[in-house]
Amino acid sequence: MIFSELESGTSVEGLPITVFKTDIKAPKYLYLLAGVHGDEVEGVYVLKELYNWLKNEHSLKDMPIVVIPILNVDGYRAQSRVNAHLVDLNRNLPTKDWTPEKTQPKYNPGAKPLSEPENQFLVKLLDKYKPGLIISFHTWKPILNHNGDCQDIAQYLYQFNKYEMAGDIGYPTPGSLGTFGVEKYKTPVLTFECPELKTHRESLKDIWKENEEGLKRMFQTELIWNKLKS
């Protein structure tokens, strides 16, 4: 597939937030993003490998895709979960259940919903290029957290990586992308939680290898297309 770089966003510290899009127009797009939490390098690595493959695999039918390799570029540089304002971007989106309560410093939701430039940029993209499916790569313990109508995609990937499937991860996540995507855009969101390198795997390449076949094969099915057409 052929991707072009769109106009970048800007982080709190003025770093560019790069974004790429395939050169086709469509009513709905597949979003692939990582680095919402800057210390989750495993998810960033898996998306990097997947994006490299998509760019070089010319046998695939062109698909409307938007790729954000690292949303929280300041946090990634500092290896911090939060952004440079110490805000958790995955608690800062304007969901119905958003709350200013900060149960832990790492879950800081910010002063108000959508206060952070990184999320403002993300929402600007989502408004311009409507999402049909969002896959957000994170790092925690291996879980395929499906919000909205994407359990079928979780089930397909489970055949290959055997990650736990869950519609709920067991605790509230107000202001999260998983909730926001379903609420505002009626779009399913798969939060793809990769295992932590330090406790589960020997190398980043190992984490990619256990997901490579499933992710690649998924793009050769109708699963994603069905979401973009619905």
pLDDT in tens, 68-79: 999 999 999 999
How much is the pLDDT for 202?
81
- Among 64, 81, 93, smallest CA distance to 182 is for 93
Number of domains in the chain: 1
How much is the pLDDT for 218?
98
How much is the pLDDT for 222?
97
- Among 59, 6, 56, 57, smallest CA distance to 29 is for 6
Helices (H) and strands (E) in the chain, counts: 8, 10
Lowest mean pLDDT across 90-94, 108-112, 167-171: 167-171
**pLDDT at residue 31 tops 90:** yes
Please compute the mean of the pLDDT values over residues 107-120 and round it to a whole number: 97
Residue 135's domain is classified under what CATH number? 3.40.630.10
Segment holding 144, helix H or strand E: strand 143-147
How sure is the predictor about 103, in pLDDT bands with cuts at 50, 70 and 90? confident
Is the pTM higher than 0.95? The answer reads yes
How much is the pLDDT for 169?
85
Lowest mean pLDDT across 197-201, 214-218, 219-223, 225-229: 197-201
Q: Which domain holds residue 176?
A: 3-229
How much is the pLDDT for 171?
85
Q: Is 130 exposed, middle or buried (0-12, 13-18, 19+ CB in 10 A)?
A: middle
Please compute the mean of the pLDDT values over residues 76-83 and round it to a whole number: 98
Q: What is the rounded average pLDDT for all residues in the chain?
A: 96
**pLDDT at residue 111 tops 90:** yes
**pLDDT at residue 107 tops 90:** yes
Q: Are 83 and 105 in contact (CB under 8 A)?
A: no
How much is the pLDDT for 200?
65
Please compute the mean of the pLDDT values over residues 99-115 and round it to a whole number: 94
Spatial separation of the C-alpha atoms in residues 145 and 163, rounded to whole Å: 10
